[in-house]
């Protein structure tokens, strides 16, 4: 046992490690029993994860029951709705701090409690780099909210209703009235946003007990599953099954199939790439398009559809979705149980509500998945989620309206004199990992008010930032390289023609090469770009990679393992 090298010594060092840990623990706690850390992202300032201490209590019972020693380990948490300038800026810091905590402590195995958007990615990145036996408990979505008799999707309806206010079809007062209806329980966003997506990604990668992801946060079965996961963590240590054995190219294949079938968040792309980078798995942006493109869309969930996560669970949960695409999954990928993921997709796994989960025979769309675009505007790629876009805009040519920052966009977008029409292509730059910094979720720029009044509800939008997983629209995201890293997005001028052709996976700036060369010799100043001088932002901007490789720091890719050679005293 790894922890034996702390507690198993007779020397002064063993004394020090044991003595401070006693506080009620019996002698038997130090005699080779698996020490299971519960990496707990509970925080009152990460409200989606505020119930995790209750889950941790159930995990503890399970760990004890199986003969292990459970240890609550509060780790850095990130509340997506609160943290500025964007929680994404801190994902790598959270992952780095978790990794070092896991490595530095006498831990044999890990239970990872995550929920709100960046928490499961950070936990998985950290666990992958340390490569200690680990299992995830997704903290679960909120219960359905309703407003005036119709379901209200967390996140998605904020975008929808705020556009209605700007269009003049909903009063500001009614908009504010809806606020307290949206969130009525503990748990993370109940749409198929990033948190729901990453919970299902954890399961599809094999990192949860199968069938757990999507259990609503207040559902008693989540406590039962937490207990079982605690038990399982002890067995995982005994089997010495590590993330590097579970998370393989085959399991990424399964995650990408799942991502398409559930119509999951575009943010999963950067998170999965970052996790792969930690394990040295050769996953690239094109894999998302190649593996996902023939996968049907099977869930009717907001933001693209109607229902919410509680409905998905009631209808059979993620396993019922995966059961429908079983033939597309890689049967060799195992889960933390040691059994293949596909072995859990038996005939007993059924769809209980076909309005929420469609059968393979009658999918909502034949080809879901995330499309990876390339062209002179995105030499290293950009992505779009066709399922959340307006079909008529997927092939489109229009004139650019360029914004150099979110603030610039907010200041000018509703100006009646802004030269914009229903064919325009809105371009927002300076929002990539380095430029902002942190690659915020701002790519779904609002529709200009004068167009909203004409009934326009979608425009082609292009950005080097990200989009909330709860948002929708014909939005080209993650343009790489970003403007701040010398990407051609910096060369676009108002009025340039841009051509989007999703079926042909192309994104072109229709300006001739000579003119682009001339512009690159004298680039326009983008005044909004970040130039931090100290602290994490400085480290981040100096070392962060681009969207096509997962936005990790260059010195954090790969792993260092769990070994620590030297004593502390």
Query: In angstroms, what is the minimal distance from the CB of 86 to ligand FES?
Result: 12
Query: In angstroms, what is the minimal distance from the CB of 124 to Mg ion?
Result: 17
Q: Which stretch binds ligand FES (CB under 6 A): 16-24, 186-194, 218-226, 423-431?
A: 186-194
CA distance 357 to 253: 21
Token readout for 94 is 């959270």
Q: Can you tell me which of 35, 80, 89, 134 binds ligand FES, judged by CB under 6 A?
A: 80
User: Is residue 117 part of the contact set for Mg ion (CB under 5 A)?
Assistant: yes
Q: Can you tell me which of 193, 318, 340, 438 binds ligand FES, judged by CB under 6 A?
A: 193
User: Is residue 468 part of the contact set for Mg ion (CB under 5 A)?
Assistant: yes
Residues 6+ away with beta carbon under 8 Å from 155:
189, 191, 193, 303, 468, 469, 470, 471
User: What is the DSSP pairing of strand 371-375 with strand 378-384?
Assistant: antiparallel
- Do 409 and 444 form a contact (C-beta atoms < 8 A)? no
- Do 509 and 377 form a contact (C-beta atoms < 8 A)? yes
Q: Can you tell me which of 117, 441, 482, 548 binds ligand FES, judged by CB under 6 A?
A: 117
Residues 6+ away with beta carbon under 8 Å from 306:
151, 300, 355
Q: Which does 468 bind (CB under 5 to 8 A by kind): ligand FES, Mg ion, none?
A: Mg ion
**Interacting residues with ligand FES between 357 and 396 (CB under 6 A):** none
Q: Which does 189 bind (CB under 5 to 8 A by kind): ligand FES, Mg ion, none?
A: ligand FES
Q: Name the DSSP class of 262.
A: H
Q: Which stretch binds ligand FES (CB under 6 A): 168-176, 185-193, 386-394, 428-436?
A: 185-193
Q: Name the DSSP class of 491.
A: G
Q: Which does 48 bind (CB under 5 to 8 A by kind): Mg ion, ligand FES, none?
A: ligand FES
Q: Which does 404 bind (CB under 5 to 8 A by kind): ligand FES, Mg ion, none?
A: none
CA distance 311 to 254: 23
Query: In angstroms, what is the minimal distance from the CB of 408 to Mg ion?
Result: 22
Q: Which does 3 bind (CB under 5 to 8 A by kind): Mg ion, ligand FES, none?
A: none
User: Is residue 203 part of the contact set for Mg ion (CB under 5 A)?
Assistant: no
Token readout for 245 is 């054995």
Nearest to 42 by CA among 71, 72, 77, 11: 77
By C-beta, is 117 or 482 nearer to Mg ion? 117
Q: Which does 335 bind (CB under 5 to 8 A by kind): ligand FES, Mg ion, none?
A: none
Instruction: Using CB under 6 A, count the residues that bind ligand FES.
Output: 10
CA distance 128 to 245: 10
Query: In angstroms, what is the minimal distance from the CB of 303 to Mg ion?
Result: 12
How many secondary structure helices (H) and strands (E) does the chain include?
Answer: 20, 14
Nearest to 73 by CA among 15, 132, 27, 16: 132
By C-beta, is 215 or 267 nearer to Mg ion? 267
Q: Can you tell me which of 75, 127, 161, 195 binds ligand FES, judged by CB under 6 A?
A: 195
Q: Give me the count of residues in the chain.
A: 569
By C-beta, is 186 or 188 nearer to ligand FES? 188
DSSP H or E run through 411? helix 406-412
Token readout for 297 is 């869309």
CA distance 141 to 156: 14
Q: Which stretch binds Mg ion (CB under 5 A): 22-30, 74-82, 174-182, 430-438?
A: 74-82
Q: Which stretch binds Mg ion (CB under 5 A): 114-122, 218-226, 300-308, 488-496?
A: 114-122
Q: Can you tell me which of 188, 231, 241, 242 binds ligand FES, judged by CB under 6 A?
A: 188
Query: In angstroms, what is the minimal distance from the CB of 217 to ligand FES?
Result: 11
User: Is residue 269 part of the contact set for Mg ion (CB under 5 A)?
Assistant: no
CA distance 270 to 91: 11
User: Is residue 87 part of the contact set for ligand FES (CB under 6 A)?
Assistant: no
The contact pattern for ligand FES, residues 135-164, with x = CB under 6 A and - = no contact, is: --------------------x---------
Q: Which does 471 bind (CB under 5 to 8 A by kind): Mg ion, ligand FES, none?
A: none
Rounded to whole angstroms, what are the CA distances from 7 to 11, 34, 133, 550? 10, 11, 19, 38
Query: In angstroms, what is the minimal distance from the CB of 119 to ligand FES?
Result: 9
Token readout for 375 is 């062209």
**DSSP one-letter string for 141-189:** BPPPEEETTEEE-TTHHHHHHHHHHHHTSS-HHHHHHTHHHH--SSSB-
Rounded to whole angstroms, what are the CA distances from 463 to 24, 192, 267, 489? 55, 22, 14, 8
Instruction: Using CB under 5 A, count the residues that bind Mg ion.
Output: 4
Q: Can you tell me which of 38, 78, 80, 138 binds Mg ion, judged by CB under 5 A?
A: 80
CA distance 457 to 166: 11
Q: Can you tell me which of 36, 38, 39, 48 binds ligand FES, judged by CB under 6 A?
A: 48
- Would you tell me which residues interact with ligand FES (CB under 6 A)? 48, 80-81, 116-117, 155, 188-189, 193, 195
- Would you tell me which residues interact with Mg ion (CB under 5 A)? 80, 117, 194, 468
């Amino acid at each position: 046992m790894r922890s034996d090298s702390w507690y198993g010594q007779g020397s002064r060092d063993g004394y020090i490690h044991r003595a401070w840990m006693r506080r009620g623990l019996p002698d038997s706690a130090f005699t080779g029993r698996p020490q299971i850390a519960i990496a707990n992202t509970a925080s009152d300032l990460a409200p989606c994860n505020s119930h995790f201490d209750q889950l941790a209590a159930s995990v503890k019972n399970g760990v004890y029951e199986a003969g292990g020693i459970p240890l609550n380990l509060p780790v850095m948490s990130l509340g997506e709705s609160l943290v500025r300038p964007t929680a994404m800026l801190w994902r790598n810091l959270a992952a780095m701090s978790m990794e070092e905590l896991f490595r530095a402590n006498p831990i044999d195995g890990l239970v990872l409690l995550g929920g709100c958007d960046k928490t499961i990615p950070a936990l998985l990145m950290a666990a992958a780099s340390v490569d200690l036996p680990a299992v995830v408990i997704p903290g679960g979505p909120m219960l359905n909210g309703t407003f005036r008799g119709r379901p209200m999707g967390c996140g998605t309806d904020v975008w929808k209703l705020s556009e209605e206010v700007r269009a003049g079809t909903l009063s500001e007062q009614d908009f504010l009235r809806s606020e307290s209806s949206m969130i009525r329980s503990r748990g993370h966003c109940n749409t198929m946003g990033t948190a729901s997506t990453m919970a299902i990604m954890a399961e599809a990668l094999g990192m949860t007990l199968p069938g757990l992801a999507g259990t609503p946060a207040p559902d008693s079965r989540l406590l039962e599953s937490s207990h079982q996961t605690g038990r399982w963590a002890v067995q995982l240590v005994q089997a010495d099954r590590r993330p590097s054995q579970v998370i393989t190219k085959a399991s990424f294949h399964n995650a990408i199939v799942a991502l398409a079938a559930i119509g999951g968040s575009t943010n999963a792309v950067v998170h999965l790439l970052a996790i792969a980078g930690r394990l040295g798995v050769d996953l690239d942006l094109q894999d998302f398009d190649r593996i996902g493109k023939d996968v049907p869309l099977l869930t009717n969930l907001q933001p693209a559809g109607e229902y919410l996560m509680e409905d998905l669970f009631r209808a059979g949960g993620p396993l019922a979705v995966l059961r429908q695409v079983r033939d597309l999954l890689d049967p060799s990928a195992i889960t933390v149980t040691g059994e293949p993921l596909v072995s859990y997709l038996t005939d007993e796994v059924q769809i209980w509500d076909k309005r929420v989960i469609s059968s393979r025979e009658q999918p909502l769309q034949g080809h879901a998945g995330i499309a990876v675009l390339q062209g002179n505007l995105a030499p290293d790629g950009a992505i779009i989620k066709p399922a959340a876009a307006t079909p008529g805009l997927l092939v489109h040519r229009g004139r650019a309206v360029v914004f150099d920052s979110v603030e610039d966009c907010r200041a000018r977008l509703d100006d009646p004199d802004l030269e914009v029409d229903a064919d325009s292509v809105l371009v927002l730059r300076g929002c990539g990992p380095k430029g902002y910094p942190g690659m915020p979720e701002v790519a779904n720029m609002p529709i200009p008010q004068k167009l909203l009044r004409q009934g326009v509800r979608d425009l082609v939008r292009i950005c080097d930032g990200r989009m909330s997983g709860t948002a929708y629209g014909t939005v080209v995201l993650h343009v790489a390289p970003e403007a701040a890293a010398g990407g051609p997005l910096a060369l676009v001028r108002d009025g340039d023609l841009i051509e989007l052709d999703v079926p042909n996976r192309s994104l072109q700036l229709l300006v001739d090469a000579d003119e682009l060369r001339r512009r690159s010799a004298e680039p326009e100043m983008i005044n909004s770009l970040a130039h931090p001088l100290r602290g994490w932002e400085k480290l981040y901007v100096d070392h962060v990679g681009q969207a096509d490789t997962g936005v990790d720091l260059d010195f954090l890719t790969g792993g260092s393992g769990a070994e620590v050679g030297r004593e502390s005293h």
